Amino acid sequence: MKRAKFIETVNSVIQQHSGIGVNKFSIRCGLPKEDSHHLDRWISFATSLKAKIIHFDLIIIDWPLEEVHHFPLEALDAQGGSFVQSLFLAAVSIPHSGIRGLTILRRLVLESVQIFGDFPGLLAKCSALEDLEIIDCSGVTNLSIPHKLDKLRHLLIDSSTTDIEVVELHAADLAHFEYKGRVIPIVLHGCSKLEKATIMFVDTKALAHTFTAVPSILPVRILHVQAIISKYAQLQKLPTIPEGMFMNLRHMTLIVEMQMTIMKFFN
């Protein structure tokens, strides 16, 4: 469906809606910034009916992310209390000055989002968060959350194309941790319930750090590891893993990819 027809259809559905509340409001459509008035209307509609699940995927292939929409998080906190339980945002920016917190939010997924302001402070106000996924977002270099996210069970961080330099948080109930990106300091405090970890380092010289870079994964039962090497000799330089390092491990998948250098010769 073409974009103009899609916008027309959505606006028609909104106009004809009876006013009864909705459980889920989902939009998946590449939307240029000049159409922001439509987005504002859709957000207003979803918040006025206190939708529990809100999903806005506005990614346009090969479109500069500098021209994304501003998503007003404060609109989710301005209808007489927090109501959103699941929020997915893609290809927007989220300035969040003055927001009190999304106190019943259980799932937050941010993909290709420009983040401004105190993001760790925002997460600290989401005390019910169980699932947090941060994928190729910009604006956060230090993901250090001093407050406890006691109910967080799943954390996914894909920083392979972004600038996250530090990850540190308290998550007593964390059961599944996933990370893709460069080798950076990752400290997960109090993760005694961690059972599954997925680690993928994009650095070609990171294989030796794979099993030691995230000390919190040592008690896991299921471990998936993927690493990239530039030459076979790196496999022969792996450090010896101390005996008893993974006492609880029951299943491990290790994938090592060779990065091939393509050379072109010209006469």
% of the chain beyond a pLDDT of 70: 83
pLDDT of 263: 39
State the Rg of the chain over Cα.
21
| Strand ranges for the chain from DSSP E | 24-28, 53-57, 69-70, 86-90, 92-94, 107-111, 114-115, 131-135, 142-148, 154-158, 166-170, 176-181, 186-189, 196-201, 222-229, 251-258
Q: Parse the chain into domains and list their residue ranges.
A: 3-258
| Residues 140-158: tens digit of each pLDDT | 888 888 777 889 999 999 9
Which residue positions in the chain have pLDDT lower than 50?
Answer: 262-267
% of the chain beyond a pLDDT of 90: 32
pLDDT of 120: 86
| Residues 183-221: tens digit of each pLDDT | 888 888 888 899 999 999 887 667 767 777 777 788 899
**Packing angle, helices 36-48 and 3-16, rounded to 10:** 30
Residue 75 structure tokens: 């609109």
Question: At the topology level of CATH, where does 3-258 sit?
Answer: 3.80.10
pLDDT of 147: 75
Sheet holding 69-70, edge to edge: 69-70, 92-94, 114-115
Determine the Cα–Cα distance for residues 138 and 80; give it in Å rounded to an integer. 31
Strand, helix or coil for residue 253: strand
Determine the Cα–Cα distance for residues 173 and 192; give it in Å rounded to an integer. 8
